Amino acid sequence: MNLQVTTFRGEPRIDSRLIAMDLGNNHKSTIELIEKYEPKFQRFGVLPFQTDKPKAGSAGGRPEKFALLNEDQSYYLLALSRNTEIVVDLKADLVMAFREARNKETVSNLQYLPLYREMHDEVKALALRAEERGSTTPEKIFHINANKAINSAMGIAAGQRESLTLDQQLLLTTLQAVFRNQLKVSLDAGEGHKEAAKKARDAIVEFVKYAGSLLIGSSSTQH
Protein backbone atom coordinates (compact mmCIF):
# COMPACT_ATOMS: atom_id res chain seq x y z
CA MET A 1 0.00 0.00 0.00
CA ASN A 2 1.48 3.34 -1.08
CA LEU A 3 -1.12 5.47 0.66
CA GLN A 4 0.56 7.75 3.18
CA VAL A 5 -1.78 10.02 5.08
CA THR A 6 -0.48 13.51 5.77
CA THR A 7 -1.95 16.28 7.91
CA PHE A 8 -3.16 19.53 6.38
CA ARG A 9 -4.43 22.14 8.82
CA GLY A 10 -5.18 19.48 11.40
CA GLU A 11 -7.07 17.14 9.04
CA PRO A 12 -5.84 13.81 7.58
CA ARG A 13 -5.33 14.08 3.81
CA ILE A 14 -4.01 11.93 0.97
CA ASP A 15 -2.04 13.24 -1.99
CA SER A 16 -3.99 12.73 -5.24
CA ARG A 17 -0.75 11.53 -6.87
CA LEU A 18 -0.65 8.52 -4.53
CA ILE A 19 -4.21 7.56 -5.43
CA ALA A 20 -3.46 7.91 -9.14
CA MET A 21 -0.37 5.74 -8.69
CA ASP A 22 -2.31 2.97 -6.96
CA LEU A 23 -4.98 3.13 -9.64
CA GLY A 24 -2.31 2.83 -12.31
CA ASN A 25 -3.50 6.12 -13.82
CA ASN A 26 -1.64 9.10 -15.16
CA HIS A 27 -1.90 11.79 -12.50
CA LYS A 28 -2.62 14.42 -15.14
CA SER A 29 -5.88 12.63 -15.93
CA THR A 30 -6.72 12.35 -12.22
CA ILE A 31 -6.16 16.03 -11.47
CA GLU A 32 -8.21 16.99 -14.55
CA LEU A 33 -11.05 14.83 -13.23
CA ILE A 34 -10.84 16.50 -9.82
CA GLU A 35 -10.88 19.95 -11.41
CA LYS A 36 -13.84 19.01 -13.60
CA TYR A 37 -15.92 18.04 -10.57
CA GLU A 38 -14.33 20.50 -8.15
CA PRO A 39 -17.68 21.94 -6.89
CA LYS A 40 -18.83 18.44 -5.99
CA PHE A 41 -15.56 17.64 -4.22
CA GLN A 42 -15.97 20.84 -2.23
CA ARG A 43 -19.29 19.57 -0.90
CA PHE A 44 -17.17 17.24 1.25
CA GLY A 45 -14.90 19.98 2.57
CA VAL A 46 -12.22 22.43 1.51
CA LEU A 47 -10.27 21.16 -1.51
CA PRO A 48 -6.67 22.42 -1.24
CA PHE A 49 -4.48 22.33 -4.33
CA GLN A 50 -0.70 22.36 -4.06
CA THR A 51 2.20 22.56 -6.49
CA ASP A 52 5.44 20.61 -6.34
CA LYS A 53 8.77 21.22 -7.99
CA PRO A 54 9.21 19.30 -11.24
CA LYS A 55 11.09 16.03 -11.01
CA ALA A 56 14.54 15.88 -12.48
CA GLY A 57 14.37 14.99 -16.15
CA SER A 58 10.63 15.69 -16.48
CA ALA A 59 9.48 17.18 -19.76
CA GLY A 60 9.05 20.93 -19.69
CA GLY A 61 10.14 21.18 -16.08
CA ARG A 62 6.80 22.67 -15.02
CA PRO A 63 5.60 22.47 -11.40
CA GLU A 64 3.14 19.64 -10.81
CA LYS A 65 -0.30 20.46 -9.44
CA PHE A 66 -1.94 18.01 -7.03
CA ALA A 67 -4.80 17.92 -4.56
CA LEU A 68 -4.84 16.96 -0.88
CA LEU A 69 -8.04 14.95 -0.47
CA ASN A 70 -9.82 14.28 2.80
CA GLU A 71 -11.41 10.90 3.48
CA ASP A 72 -14.79 11.64 1.84
CA GLN A 73 -13.17 13.33 -1.16
CA SER A 74 -10.91 10.30 -1.65
CA TYR A 75 -13.89 7.94 -1.70
CA TYR A 76 -15.73 10.26 -4.08
CA LEU A 77 -12.76 10.20 -6.46
CA LEU A 78 -12.93 6.40 -6.49
CA ALA A 79 -16.68 6.57 -7.05
CA LEU A 80 -15.93 8.32 -10.35
CA SER A 81 -13.91 5.28 -11.45
CA ARG A 82 -15.19 1.92 -12.67
CA ASN A 83 -15.49 -0.61 -9.85
CA THR A 84 -12.57 -2.76 -10.99
CA GLU A 85 -10.58 -5.09 -8.72
CA ILE A 86 -7.93 -2.37 -8.38
CA VAL A 87 -10.54 0.17 -7.25
CA VAL A 88 -12.03 -2.29 -4.76
CA ASP A 89 -8.58 -2.97 -3.28
CA LEU A 90 -7.81 0.75 -3.14
CA LYS A 91 -11.02 1.44 -1.24
CA ALA A 92 -9.92 -1.08 1.39
CA ASP A 93 -6.47 0.55 1.53
CA LEU A 94 -8.10 3.96 2.05
CA VAL A 95 -10.16 2.64 4.94
CA MET A 96 -7.02 1.31 6.63
CA ALA A 97 -4.96 4.43 5.93
CA PHE A 98 -7.50 6.83 7.40
CA ARG A 99 -8.23 4.48 10.31
CA GLU A 100 -4.54 4.46 11.25
CA ALA A 101 -4.46 8.25 10.96
CA ARG A 102 -7.39 8.51 13.39
CA ASN A 103 -5.76 6.05 15.79
CA LYS A 104 -2.51 8.05 15.72
CA GLU A 105 -4.44 11.24 16.44
CA THR A 106 -6.15 9.54 19.40
CA VAL A 107 -2.80 8.38 20.81
CA SER A 108 -1.39 11.87 20.32
CA ASN A 109 -4.26 13.66 22.04
CA LEU A 110 -4.84 11.21 24.91
CA GLN A 111 -1.33 9.96 25.64
CA TYR A 112 1.56 11.58 23.77
CA LEU A 113 0.79 15.24 24.46
CA PRO A 114 -0.07 14.84 28.18
CA LEU A 115 3.05 12.73 28.77
CA TYR A 116 5.14 15.15 26.71
CA ARG A 117 4.08 17.99 29.01
CA GLU A 118 4.64 15.90 32.15
CA MET A 119 8.11 14.87 31.00
CA HIS A 120 9.11 18.46 30.32
CA ASP A 121 7.75 19.54 33.72
CA GLU A 122 10.26 17.11 35.20
CA VAL A 123 12.98 18.40 32.85
CA LYS A 124 12.21 21.88 34.18
CA ALA A 125 12.88 20.55 37.68
CA LEU A 126 16.13 19.06 36.38
CA ALA A 127 17.19 22.47 35.04
CA LEU A 128 16.36 24.04 38.40
CA ARG A 129 18.52 21.45 40.19
CA ALA A 130 21.36 22.30 37.80
CA GLU A 131 20.96 26.02 38.50
CA GLU A 132 21.00 25.38 42.23
CA ARG A 133 24.35 23.64 41.77
CA GLY A 134 25.92 26.47 39.81
CA SER A 135 25.12 25.54 36.23
CA THR A 136 24.65 28.42 33.77
CA THR A 137 23.12 26.23 31.02
CA PRO A 138 19.82 27.76 29.80
CA GLU A 139 16.73 25.74 30.67
CA LYS A 140 15.77 25.30 27.00
CA ILE A 141 18.95 23.27 26.42
CA PHE A 142 17.76 20.68 28.94
CA HIS A 143 14.46 20.37 27.07
CA ILE A 144 16.23 20.07 23.71
CA ASN A 145 18.58 17.42 25.08
CA ALA A 146 15.67 15.39 26.49
CA ASN A 147 13.96 15.29 23.10
CA LYS A 148 17.26 14.41 21.39
CA ALA A 149 17.85 11.57 23.84
CA ILE A 150 14.45 10.03 23.10
CA ASN A 151 14.86 10.45 19.35
CA SER A 152 18.28 8.83 19.56
CA ALA A 153 16.96 5.88 21.57
CA MET A 154 14.32 5.31 18.89
CA GLY A 155 16.75 5.81 16.03
CA ILE A 156 14.84 8.70 14.48
CA ALA A 157 15.99 12.15 13.38
CA ALA A 158 14.59 15.51 14.40
CA GLY A 159 11.40 16.27 12.49
CA GLN A 160 10.42 12.63 11.98
CA ARG A 161 7.92 12.36 14.81
CA GLU A 162 5.05 13.48 12.57
CA SER A 163 5.60 10.51 10.24
CA LEU A 164 5.82 7.74 12.86
CA THR A 165 3.65 4.66 12.56
CA LEU A 166 1.07 3.98 15.26
CA ASP A 167 3.36 1.42 16.95
CA GLN A 168 6.29 3.84 16.87
CA GLN A 169 4.13 6.59 18.33
CA LEU A 170 3.11 4.27 21.17
CA LEU A 171 6.78 3.53 21.86
CA LEU A 172 7.63 7.24 21.79
CA THR A 173 4.85 7.92 24.28
CA THR A 174 6.10 5.17 26.58
CA LEU A 175 9.69 6.42 26.42
CA GLN A 176 8.54 9.84 27.59
CA ALA A 177 7.00 8.19 30.65
CA VAL A 178 10.16 6.15 31.32
CA PHE A 179 12.38 9.24 30.98
CA ARG A 180 10.12 11.31 33.24
CA ASN A 181 9.79 8.61 35.91
CA GLN A 182 13.55 8.00 36.12
CA LEU A 183 14.23 11.73 36.36
CA LYS A 184 11.74 12.03 39.21
CA VAL A 185 13.27 9.10 41.10
CA SER A 186 16.75 10.58 40.76
CA LEU A 187 15.76 14.12 41.69
CA ASP A 188 13.69 12.93 44.66
CA ALA A 189 16.77 11.03 45.83
CA GLY A 190 18.75 14.30 45.76
CA GLU A 191 21.05 13.32 42.89
CA GLY A 192 22.85 15.94 40.82
CA HIS A 193 21.55 17.03 37.45
CA LYS A 194 24.25 15.27 35.43
CA GLU A 195 23.73 11.95 37.15
CA ALA A 196 19.93 12.26 36.95
CA ALA A 197 20.03 13.05 33.22
CA LYS A 198 22.40 10.15 32.53
CA LYS A 199 20.21 7.68 34.39
CA ALA A 200 17.15 8.88 32.46
CA ARG A 201 18.98 8.43 29.15
CA ASP A 202 20.21 4.98 30.17
CA ALA A 203 16.68 3.99 31.22
CA ILE A 204 15.14 4.71 27.82
CA VAL A 205 17.99 2.98 25.96
CA GLU A 206 17.48 -0.12 28.11
CA PHE A 207 13.72 0.03 27.57
CA VAL A 208 14.14 0.12 23.78
CA LYS A 209 16.66 -2.71 23.94
CA TYR A 210 14.46 -5.08 25.91
CA ALA A 211 10.87 -3.96 25.33
CA GLY A 212 10.86 -1.70 22.27
CA SER A 213 11.59 -4.54 19.85
CA LEU A 214 8.53 -6.39 21.14
CA LEU A 215 6.35 -3.41 20.26
CA ILE A 216 7.65 -2.28 16.88
CA GLY A 217 10.00 -5.06 15.75
CA SER A 218 13.73 -5.52 16.23
CA SER A 219 14.56 -3.99 12.85
CA SER A 220 13.10 -0.63 13.91
CA THR A 221 15.03 -0.19 17.16
CA GLN A 222 18.63 0.32 18.07
CA HIS A 223 20.70 -2.44 19.62
Question: pLDDT per residue over 7-56, tens digit each?
Answer: 888 788 899 999 888 888 889 999 999 999 999 999 988 999 999 876 65
Residue 222: the pLDDT is 44
* Averaged pLDDT score across all residues of the chain: 83
- From CA 132, how far away is CA 192, in angstroms rounded? 10
| Residue of 91 and 120 predicted with greater confidence | 120
* Helix residue ranges per DSSP H, 42-84: 71-79
For the segment 79-107, the average pLDDT, to the nearest whole number, is 71
- From CA 197, how far away is CA 191, in angstroms rounded? 10
Residue 89: the pLDDT is 76
| CB 142 within 8 Å of CB 127 | yes
Residue 179, pLDDT above cutoff 70: yes
The rounded percent of the chain whose pLDDT value lies above 90 is 40
Angle at 13 between CA 9 and CA 15, to 5 degrees: 120
For the segment 149-169, the average pLDDT, to the nearest whole number, is 83
Residue at 174: amino acid letter = T
Could you report how far apart the first and last alpha carbons of the chain are, in Å? 29
How is the chain split among helix, strand and coil, in percent rounded to 5?
Answer: 70, 10, 25
